[in-house]
Structure 1
Amino acid sequence: MGSEHWQSASYIVPACVAVIFALIVLVLGKGSPREEGLPSLEQMMPEEKVILKTKNTAKAPENMSAWQIFCTYVLRNKNAWYISLVDVFVYMVRFGMISWLPIYLLTVKHFSKEQMSVAFLFFEWAAIPSTLLAGWLSDKLFKGRRMPLAMICMALIFVCLIGYWKSESLLMVTIFAAIVGCLIYVPQFLASVQTMEIVPSFAVGSAVGLRGFMSYIFGASLGTSLFGVMVDKLGWYGGFYLLMGGIVCCILFCYLSHRGALELERQRQNALHHQDSLQLADAQ
């Protein structure tokens, strides 16, 4: 559309595309598994039903309001906070790169607009293959455990961020930007999957809401506004140190979330063994 129509290219066209796809999902989207002739979630995941019984909940979930579910199964759930903080720091790094990458390349690296556009293009489009592979890798290579792959990706992002910052070569800057773009969406995707595994199915929506709120209110603000303040006060060094600190914090909360998931896994296994023992005793 040209630079004179940047408002339409940046806002109106993407908004129209998003509305079209939202309408397609609304029309073609399916209902609950039971409505589509599939087993209920309780039948597909009996271990979740068992773990809920072992917690001696005061009320059955169907008798709880949305606010009670949110307070009981999300706000009081340390694992929900860990995974939300993972997302906060992922968004901090992601938005820091998206918001400031063009300005940094133009003003500091002295790239042309065309060169900057190429680097930015690779940053965004490199995410597609990585997100497609992330779920498969976490299932096959890490046996369904999500956070080890997320920690590896964040560690690689840390290295590539330094390379992107220090390199003067157009090719190397583009490669480092592409690798960061390729990897930054993996922890975000895996955090979404982990959320479904650390809270009961009826509380997933509330947990996702907490993640979304914290990601955009805190994560995006840290990566955009605070990054800008750091650059103004300390120069670009301050901005990059901020992102590197965010990566370290993200790895820390990935580790805590991983430990929490392992603890829940042990609880489910113990609960299933206990139920099997009771059934065996009743049979005898």
Structure 2
Amino acid sequence: MIGLFKPPKPRERLPDERIESTFSSLRLRVFLGIFVGYAGYYLVRKNFTLAMPYLIEEGFSKTELGFALSGVAIAYGLSKFLMGSVSDRSSARAFMTTGLLVSAVIMILMGTVPLATSSVGIMFVLLMANGWFQGMGWPPSGRTMVHWFSASERGTKMAIWNVAHNVGGGLVGPIAILAIAIFVDWHAVLYLHGLFALVVTVFIWIMVRDTPQSEGLPSIEEYKNDYPRAFKYEKSHEQEFTTREIFFQSVLNNKLLWAIAVANAFVYLVRYGVLDWAPTYLSEVKNFSFQDSGWAYALYEWAGIPGTLLAGWMSDKIFAGRRAPVSIIYLILTLICVVIYWLNPVGNPGIDVAMLISIGFLIYGPVMLIGVHALDLAPKKAAGTAAGFTGLFGYVGGAVSANIAIGALVDAYGWDAGFTLIAAACVMAILLIGLTWNAEKRSVENEYDPN
């Protein structure tokens, strides 16, 4: 990498008496940076879904809006994978800041320039551009996480960081309600989120740092005396990898990574099949107001916070670092809640909201654990690409299906067809994650001796 994105070089090692205090303070600092930063990304990723009921009133069909929304998922999935390899060779600070800055500007333009929402084609192009720059959020966060937190603590720490999804996503609804209340214009649902995201870019730049070595510290493995078990750790893993080494020696030849990537497509179909269509479904079928739908949307996201934390803790403490058992338990319970949410008769809003909260609590566990599993399976200099690989399947396969397929199915056959697809995706995700059960158990039982 050159210019702005060039990663900082290792600095001379600090005196031993300063290692502990410096490491502790910087770990907290960079964690806060990527947490608040990634929450900011979510402010401008899914706010468009809350504008969709207004666009339907203006004459757009669900199929058309599902197609437009798919631009985010298609570009994001490709970007998360391809830009992941760029991120693995870039400064996490500069990379993450740049992505959110451009994404925020795009959303402000969509809310302030009438031409931007005048046709499906224009919305698709702009949302696709937004999705591409959204793909610059997760990879540098993953890169930061594997450089500053060791393997045995990563499940819990990643669970806490992953809550940023829910904090940012959960703020989308209340900010949208605030935007309508203040500006009395649905376009504010787009541009107000963008303005908040611009503030977050400054925070990222101030807080995030690249690697411990760039701050005069030892590697996290040396500092914690905690080395990876899913593959043989070598000191060469501290050096930057070439693109060929990242793709062909660490990612594309990894069978377990392929298995969880395909499973991720079905997990994301469930996640976004419920979330993206919740405002429209609750408004059309369950007679919810815009305010009620907005709060239900927020509760879905916020419920993921305790669910994600519990999933991370269970995988580390109860299942000794295994990710598959917790994911399967969560997905079985998700399937039950999806069916109840679907079949609950009109006039029982308490049950609708309770099921949305339950699905939110449960689905983010597998979302997070598949990401952690990807980081576990690859050397840290390939971490962004490994996570991006699972994201490619999750977004291009799962989220696109949630946007286009569900929109088309509902237009053609009604909501029952859409929910049948979501339920089937739950079953497929369970089966595919189950394929990793024994292999993951064997890899976690391996121990690595660095001496």
TM bucket, shorter chain: 0.7 to 0.9
Q: Distance in 2 between matches of 1:135 and 1:41?
A: 20
> Which residue number in structure 1 is paired with residue 406 of structure 2?
227
Q: State the match for 2:344 in structure 1.
A: 167
Query: What SS does the corresponding residue of 1:151 show, helix, strand or coil?
Result: helix
Instruction: Give me the whole-angstrom Cα distance separating, in 1, the residues matched to 2:291 and 2:231.
Output: 58
2:378 maps to which of 187, 199, 207:
199
* CA–CA distance in structure 1, aligned partners of residues 410 and 230 of structure 2: 51
What is the identity, as a one-letter code, of the residue corresponding to 1:253? L
1:102-113 superposed matches below 5 A: 102-113=279-290
Partner of 1:237: 416
Does the alignment pair 1:26 with 2:202? Answer: no
Which residue pairs with 2:394 in the alignment? Answer: 215
Residues 84-233 of structure 1: pairs in structure 2 closer than 5 A: 84-168=261-345, 169-233=348-412
**Per-residue CA shift, 1:170-212, capped at 9, x if unaligned?**
1111101110011111111111211111112222111122122
The structure 1 residue matched to 2:232, chosen from 37, 45, 51, is: 51
Shift of 1:41: 4.3
Cα deviation code 1:142-188 (max 9, x no counterpart): 22212211111111110001110111211111101110011111111
Cα distance between partner residues in 1 of 2:237 and 2:361: 43
- Provide the rounded CA distance (Å) in 1 between the counterparts of 2:230 and 2:436: 22
2: distance between equivalents of 1:26 and 1:249? 40
> How far is the alpha carbon of 1:87 from its aligned partner?
2.3
DSSP 3-state at the match of 2:186? helix
Moved more, 244-253 or 122-131: 122-131
SS at match of 2:395: helix
RMSD of the alignment, in Å?
Answer: 2.7
- Of all paired residues, the percent bearing the same amino acid is 32
TM-score (norm 2): 0.54
1:8 matched residue in structure 2: 188
Confirm or deny: 8 A CA contact 2:230 2:443 kept in the other structure: no
Residues 118 and 174 of structure 1 are in contact (CA less than 8 Å); yes or no, is this contact kept in structure 2? Answer: no
1:258 maps to 2:437: yes
8 Å contact from structure 1 (residues 42, 48) kept in 2? no
Greater shift in the superposed pair: 29-38 or 89-98: 29-38
Hey, what does 1:80 align to over in structure 2? 257
Structure 1 unaligned segments of length 5 or more: list them.
54-58, 280-284
- Supply the AA of the counterpart residue of 2:371: S
Change (3 A) 1:48 1:32: farther
Contact 2:230 2:376 in 1 (8 A): no
Q: Partners of 2:240 and 2:296 in 1: how far apart?
A: 53
Cα distance, 1:264 vs. partner?
A: 2.4
Q: Residue 47 and residue 122 in structure 1: after superposition, are their counterparts in 2 closer, same or farther (change >3 A)? A: closer
TM-score, normalised by the number of residues in structure 1: 0.83
| Between structures 1 and 2, the one with greater helix share | 1
Whole-angstrom distance in 1 between the partners of 2:199 and 2:246: 33
SS in structure 2 of the partner of residue 6 of structure 1: coil
Assess, with a 3 A threshold, how the Cα gap between structure 1 residues 99 and 75 changes in structure 2: closer, same or farther: same
Q: Secondary structure at the match of 1:213?
A: helix
Alignment coverage as a number of residue pairs: 266
Structure 1, 176-185 or 31-40: larger mean CA deviation: 31-40
Range with greater deviation from structure 2 (129-138 or 158-167): 129-138
Residue 129 of structure 1 and its aligned partner are, at CA, apart by 2.2
User: Shift of the alpha carbon at 1:52?
Assistant: 5.3
How far residue 14 of structure 1 moved from its aligned partner, in angstroms, is 2.0
Q: How many angstroms apart in 1 are the aligned matches of 2:337 and 2:354?
A: 9
